[in-house]
Structure 1
Amino acid sequence: MSTVSIRPTVTLDPNWSLIYTGETITVRCWIQNHERTQWTYEWRPTNLNTYPTQSEYRIYRAAESHSGDYSCRGRGDYLLTEWSRVIKLTVSPELNADIKVIPVGEMITVRCEIQGGNTSWEYEWKTTSSIKPSNQNEFRISSASSSHSGNYRCKGRRKNAQYKTTEWSDFIKLTVNNNKPQSFLSVSPSWLSPGASVTLKCEVEHPSAGWRFYWYKTVPKLSDRLYRYELLPGSDSGTEEDSYMVHGQTHTAGYVCRAGRGEPVFYTEHSKPTFVWSGASLTVSPDRVQHFTSDSVSLSCEGNSTEWRVRRFPEDSYLSLCSDWGTMTGSTCNISGLNSSAVYWCESGSGQFTNSVNITGHNMILMSPVHPVTEGQSVSLGCRLKTGQKLSNNVFYYQNDKLLQNDTRVELIISAVSKSHEGFYKCQHSGKESPQSWMTVKRHEIFPWSLIVGLVCGVLSLVLLVLLLLLCRFRRSKREIFVFLI
């Protein structure tokens, strides 16, 4: 990847280097005259590089910890830009209660009150905003915009004695945040059995009355790196309820929501995609979490779809597709080497998502299963060196950093796993240590056949007993005839 003489620009929206705690601000990275390149973005500080890595980073409810120097650079088409110049952001605590921050499009009323006042007063306003209030005691804003931002104060004047006035009130600072309010989506349950129902719940930042809620399914656009949103049935005009139930969920899917109100409709931002996992799966070959850096690994997507793509999100880089670091053949991604740890998953053009799998590359590895194991199964954990050296002794295994054994066994064999065996495992040999891998243990769900068989046998035994008693009685007195309906 070659570095080009392109310097991105970092901007703030709203363009204030000083903001107060609780406000929302967006940090954007802009690369001039290179719209044709599919850029992904890398940020400083590094904790901004969250999934997905895009051209903007939005800070909701800013805290003093968000203060600092921000810069970015772009990656794309085997190109790497220079780092942008640093922009400094300072988040200050609110000094008093007279600072009002509201989102754009919000309804608000600024009121001037005179203690002991009556209808004999008229009102005068002073403001630094571009919109001037009338001489009424209330200034009602039906849909706030940036032009309403400013300092407001008022005083009263007697209608029948214009020279008699009150003192000016203290200033109230009104700040209209130009960013749309954010929506937040939660799902319950997030893991479910095929055919079950899932409940979606949408919340709006700075909640208030009058919102209607819109519900969408996320569908990967296989032609690029983005998603499109499809409205779910019954939400074309929004719903009054802030929850929505999806019945008969048969495969993994992603959902988003947003809210709107007013005429024309003012919408919040779309929520971040939230996923419900079921059905489709990602399989790894060889079937283990850890691999040597030189290993060839195959990732196969399995589910009710014919078109798939594989994505990964490394610990130290950015979101990317299989075509960037491997070869996609049908529904399988083949990788010739693993340079770092990353999370992998599959997406289909019909809107399915598989489970995610964490895979690491290292020179010393722990042989452990990728997928959850069921209670009662036998599991074998082993330790391997990239050199191929056979380990015969002095291998130590740890669960959650606690030493499990210190004898000469090469493998850690658990004959029947239970929930107590769930946790992080690693191995150690001659001062070298493998990465940790998490082993998940599923509970063994047993259908109660034994109970059903027992009940059936009990009922049959009772019926046979009754018939035997009747037969004996019939033999003693052949003149008596009994009819039973069973």
Structure 2
Amino acid sequence: MIINPNRLQFFEYESVSLSCEVQGNSPGWRLKRYTVTKKMSDCGTDWGKKQVSSCILHLTPSDSGVYWCESGSGEHSNTVNITLPGVDLILESPALPVTEGHSVTLNCRYKKTPSDHTADFYKDGSFIRTESTGEMTIPAVSQSDQGLYSCRHPELGRSAKSLMAVTDLSPPASLIISPSRSQFFEYESVSLSCEVQGNSPGWRLKRYTVTRKMSDCGTDWGMKKESSCILHPTQSDSGVYWCQSESGEHSNTVTITVHDAIILECPALPVTEGNSVTLNCRYKKTPSDLTADFYKDGSFIRTESTGMMTIPAVSQSDQGLYSCRHPELGRSQESRMTVTGNDRPASPIHTAAPPLANSDTTNDLKLIKDTLRVLKQKLDTVTENQEEILLHIRRMGGVRRQSLDIDVAQSVEELVGFETKLSERPEYKKRVVGT
């Protein structure tokens, strides 16, 4: 879906043009929306004016919502979230993903032009800098520039936040982290490796930590094992990790943080649009109650009794900073989930393993069995509330009910296998019989 002008925030009665850019000759595509009025409809029904291949809209507050293109067979495009904040200033930030290396200008725009254009700019809630022109330019964007941006005028207040997504240029090497998450407890095992395209030689795994020191794996940290670097992190290992060649080329970066009581297991690497993702609130010491609240960009999403929250089919709107909170153990640090476009049919993935306790086998197996029970209940719920869930998921990512059924069934199957493997481990059998 293409939006012109290419931004998410608008003032009332501004004009916006929306169109569907279809690959090949696929017919029957319509422009749809789901607004704050909780109504789903097509352009030309009770909103918008069809003009050649576009839909022209003169916005009012009730037009705030999610817009996308959808085919007659249920295929869908990217989504765009249009907002009318209802304040005296907006942030002009790209609505569509920006390619890494390109220049981007963010503009703090005012309904009534003030005498002073000075504006403060923020990313993910943290101050970046002040610009006297009200415009901030990023000369060459990278993955680290992806985030929620806003601006503030000393007299007119602060704008709403807008997400700027960045797509990479397929770097010559990729940093792979296993398990694929950014938060860890002390002394957990982490494997890092460089996946190099072609035969480019001389790649090293590097890091810059909270101790403000840059170094390579195998110097004063990590243990080289074949093509990987094994790390058992402590607090001082928190930092940014990446692969770098002798000529200065570099891979994606991964930020690792080490914590004491509670962490959020969230994919460290980008997730493909349409795939399933499970976020897991994990505890160093297993509490009697696993219930956890989940948050995105600081806003409450929902409470899950298992401590795990599944997004059946992720879309660009799911991209953001996630955290979880336990009623007794407190709140985890935020982790960013990045979503990339999907050029192939979606297939479910499971990024967070069942949360193993550090106590004993009985607790571990009980936890898995409880999770199985909840997942099976979820599968029944999908059947009973088919239409309501289908509407919600189509709005968020556009998958059919069967896909969700398969996803839940596969999760159950994986957990059953995991339970069996855990029961058969000799070291756990010894603990059970008390030897």
Question: The TM-score by the shorter chain falls in which range?
Answer: 0.3 to 0.5
Q: What's the TM-score once normalised by structure 2's chain length?
A: 0.38
Larger radius of gyration: 1
Q: Per residue, is there more helix in 1 or in 2?
A: 2
Q: What's the TM-score once normalised by structure 1's chain length?
A: 0.34
